[in-house]
Structure 1
Amino acid sequence: MFMQDRDGNLANGAIANLVDEVGGALVQIEGLPPSVSVDMSIAFLSTAKLGEELEVTSRLLGERGRYKGTLVVVRNQRTGEVIAEGRHSLFGRQASKL
């Protein structure tokens, strides 16, 4: 299975995908094409076994014009331990002001 590494932990690539998807969903504007990922920086701080419940939160760090930055945090829901923290930069279209 591609979602886990050889030790049975959630793969770093799966966590990176979460950061990408959740960060992108946060800045998505209905009716416009999705924003494009420009940069991601992820700190992998712990591990999670496949099947453990995770809490994924995100917040907008800021925006300038069509450029936006998000922070995505992945935690073990039971223990509260931070599994990973990702900063995600995106570029996209702006909603019309008309």
Structure 2
Amino acid sequence: MNCERGAPGVSVDMNITYMNAAKVGEDVLITAHVLKQGRTLAFATVDLTSKVTGKLIAQGRHTKHLGS
């Protein structure tokens, strides 16, 4: 996650939930969304989906402290 301030940040919380396996060489679609960016914290989610089957492979959440 990068912010316009250009200052480095620190990960406060990171979580990954694995739901299905991907095969070696399989194309995976990665979709990320910033849910909220405040003055000091930003919250994002990411979905990894198989391009072949359309199944959700994994979901992640990331909370980042953006610095002062």
Q: Give me the TM-score of the superposition, normalised by structure 2.
A: 0.84
CA offsets, 1:34-84, max 9 Å, x none? 332111111111111121100000001112321000000001011111000
**Structure 1: runs of 5 or more not aligned:** 1-23
Aligned length: 68
Structure 1 contact 32–93 (Cα < 8 Å) conserved: no
Greater RCO, 1 or 2 (C-alpha within 8 Å, sep 6+)? 2
Residue 10 of structure 2 corresponds to residue 36 of structure 1 = yes
Q: Give me the TM-score of the superposition, normalised by structure 1.
A: 0.61
Greater helix share, structure number: 1
**Structure 2: runs of 5 or more not aligned:** none
Greater strand share, structure number: 2
Question: RMSD across aligned C-alpha pairs, in angstroms?
Answer: 1.8
Equivalent residue for 1:77? 51
Q: Percent of counterpart pairs with the same letter?
A: 32
Structure 1 contact 74–82 (Cα < 8 Å) conserved: yes
